[in-house]
Structure 1
Amino acid sequence: MEVLHWIALILSILATIHNHIGLVEASTDIGVCYGMLGDDLPAATEVVNLYKKYGIGKIRLFNPNPAALHALRGSNIDVTLGIPNEDLANLAGSQGAVNTWFAANVEPYLNDIVFNHIAVGNEVIPGSLAVHVLPVMKYLQNVINDKNLDSIKVTTVLSGTALASSYPPSNGAFKPEASNVMSAILAFLSARGSPLMINVYPYSAYSSDPANIHLDYAQFTATSPVVQDRALSYYNLFDATVDAFFAAMEKAGGGGVGVVVSESGWPSDGNGDFTTPELAGTYNRNFLKHITLKAGTPKRPGAYIEAYIFAMFNENQKPSGVERHFGLFYPNMQPVYPVF
């Protein structure tokens, strides 16, 4: 009995330490984007160990980085893999080009890595590269069909700039220059039960118009409805944005297609009082809680929404004018603020 008492005491102490330092297991519905635009980031093997340490079960890679893919072998971390924008034009040229890309970047890892999604391009619709997205998706789907890899879903990633309107959410609609390509893409996704990926940033809307978009609405902290859209009440801008996408998708013939939130986050520095560790921590903790409750949105209550926090690290090589402090961790792998 005395041995059992000491075992129980030790387990209790360990649990207390575990919770105190924030190592709370992440839901399988939440992942973190692994950006690599930095010259001071840790090695990929260390990064994968950091994901495992904090119980982060999903990772989004923006490109098929060999070091990252090698480190992910046998990790049991589900992978969303991106095809870089600069590769789209070449890959859209032929089935053979996509076959070669798949053979080099996916096939060698199929026995050791679970690929959930392959995202064809990031935020290229609307734009000059938009015309290449669907051809690459079709070629990629042919490879997946030939190899009986039905669990891998082919998709693409949109930003809020694809929407012509988003307020109120029921007015959500794609820009005219995006409508035709989105109608075809949504038909493709619907036929295969694949989701559309969307990047959702309440921070951007709040920081650009703080007079009209209140902080509590942007940070999931409002205690009463802020926007009333017919019968639907919105307590947070995240849900309103997702529902604006749903409305746009319905108008483009994709009402049955689901979404994955491929990026959302809040920077901890770089834009004065809009960006502090406290604000960033509040947003990301509330975002994680909101997603893991699995409540869906007012328009689609109970809908399954997988989501990714942007990003794992503060990266020091972001393009000029882009916030550089979205990371949950510093390059030395210490948390910027507690989330997990």
Structure 2
Amino acid sequence: MATKQGVASMIAVALLVAAIPTVTDRDDDDVYTGVQSIGVCYGVHGDRLPSAAEVVQMYRSNGLDSMRIYFADSNALKALSGTNINLIMDVDNRNLASFARDRNAVDGWVRDNIKAFPGVNFRYITVGNEVEGSDTQFILPAMKNINAALAAAGLSHIKASTAVHSGVTEGFPPSEGTFNSKAATYMAPVARYLATTGAPLLANIYPYFSFLGNTDQIDIEYALFTSPGTVVEDGDNEYQNLFDALVDTMYSALEDAGAGSVRIVVSESGWPSAGGDKVNAATAANAQTYNQNLIRHVGQGTPKRPGAIETYIFAMFNENQKGGAPTEKHFGLFNPDKSPAYQISF
């Protein structure tokens, strides 16, 4: 999850929602280019969580048909085989250095975790999630090695990408967005490479954390999609919610880097329902409001980029073993026994 407290290993399940009309196009490489979807992520840091097989069945029974996992989880891959559920699978951050340096290691990983599961509908391979520090130097070479290994295995329709948080950008209003000086050295080459392969950039977008970090200037209604009118005017674009502003800031950064053709997939977004924070924003009512409005909103896109945004809500289950702030344990739509934490309509 993208938080200020750090990232833990988790599984993310992305779900196409039957209740929302879906428009799907594929280019010559069988890559999705216009998918309208809502995803739901579920973490593994909790007591008595359902097994991977139970989780897959839970999504199938609800007509939900896409999943993202943050590492090559053999239990999940076995459970997914033959289900027609689309999958985005990550390379664990701990593998980036070896994958950047050793093509043989990458070939073996592709063989053992992708080629070995022909019944799984792999979609994208995400090379690291919110990579920081010196490890950022490994993102691009690892991504290139993954794409080369996929092509050698006859799987060139699967594309490599990476996931970043909104903190890699700076600038206001959204049209002034750029990759900040710390991130630009690796993000600009990554963005331009994605433009050549046709893969999206995955972005973790959390209005909750942006609001929490700047409550003096950001109204909670702007973060919850409930502002009655325009809050930010940016040339011809008007912003009524913070989600759109954060996504369009990322789009402006891609344009500034010479990669304006790259599509953004919002790989994580959500709101905690409990745990306490300095302004008591982490409530079940606010979590329900944010996530329900997000589901309703993503089909229309942003002022800069109208059209459906593929978006993933964090999280499926509350996780009592998560570290960090107490709110980290309360991002779930469901409790571990599958009962709803609050009501959400897909």
**What one-letter code is carried by the residue in structure 1 that aligns with 2:109?**
W
Counterparts of 2:232 and 2:211 in 1: how far apart (Å)?
15
Deviation at residue 103 of structure 1 after TM alignment? 1.3
Alignment deviations for residues 246-281 of structure 1 (CA, whole Å, 9 cap, x no partner): 111111111111110000001111125211111111
The answer to whether structure 1 residue 159 and structure 2 residue 165 are counterparts is yes
| Residue of structure 1 equivalent to 2:113 | 105
SS of 1:82's equivalent in the other structure is: strand
Q: Computing the radius of gyration over CA atoms, which structure comes out larger, 1 or 2?
A: 1
| Residue of structure 1 equivalent to 2:4 | none
**What one-letter code is carried by the residue in structure 2 that aligns with 1:148?**
G
- Aligned with residue 234 of structure 1, among 215, 219, 239: 239
Identity, % of aligned positions? 43
Native 8 Å contact 1:270 1:325 kept in 2: yes
Native 8 Å contact 2:163 2:201 kept in 1: yes
Native 8 Å contact 1:59 1:78 kept in 2: yes
Counterparts of 1:120 and 1:24 in 2: how far apart (Å)?
29
Counterparts of 1:139 and 1:24 in 2: how far apart (Å)?
36
Write the mapping of 1:1-340 to structure 2, written as runs, cut at 5 A.
25=19, 29-109=37-117, 111-124=118-131, 126-163=132-169, 165-272=170-277, 273-291=280-298, 293=299, 295-302=300-307, 304-321=308-325, 323-339=328-344, 340=346
Alignment deviations for residues 57-113 of structure 1 (CA, whole Å, 9 cap, x no partner): 22211111111111111222211111111111122121101111111211111x211
Q: Unmatched 5+ residue regions in structure 2?
A: 1-16, 23-35
Counterparts of 1:320 and 1:44 in 2: how far apart (Å)?
25
Deviation at residue 208 of structure 1 after TM alignment? 2.3
Counterparts of 1:286 and 1:185 in 2: how far apart (Å)?
32
Counterparts of 1:59 and 1:167 in 2: how far apart (Å)?
33
Structure 2 length as normaliser, TM-score?
0.86
SS of 2:134's equivalent in the other structure is: coil
Deviation at residue 336 of structure 1 after TM alignment? 0.8
Counterparts of 2:163 and 2:173 in 1: how far apart (Å)?
23
- CA-based RMSD: 1.7
Deviation at residue 24 of structure 1 after TM alignment? 6.8
**What one-letter code is carried by the residue in structure 1 that aligns with 2:322?**
K
Counterparts of 1:49 and 1:166 in 2: how far apart (Å)?
43
Q: Unmatched 5+ residue regions in structure 1?
A: 1-22
**Which one is further off, 141-150 or 324-333?**
141-150
Native 8 Å contact 1:35 1:312 kept in 2: yes
Native 8 Å contact 1:25 1:55 kept in 2: no
**What one-letter code is carried by the residue in structure 2 that aligns with 1:76?**
N
Native 8 Å contact 1:225 1:234 kept in 2: yes
SS of 1:332's equivalent in the other structure is: coil
**What one-letter code is carried by the residue in structure 2 that aligns with 1:71?**
A
In the comparison of the two structures, how many residue pairs are matched? 312
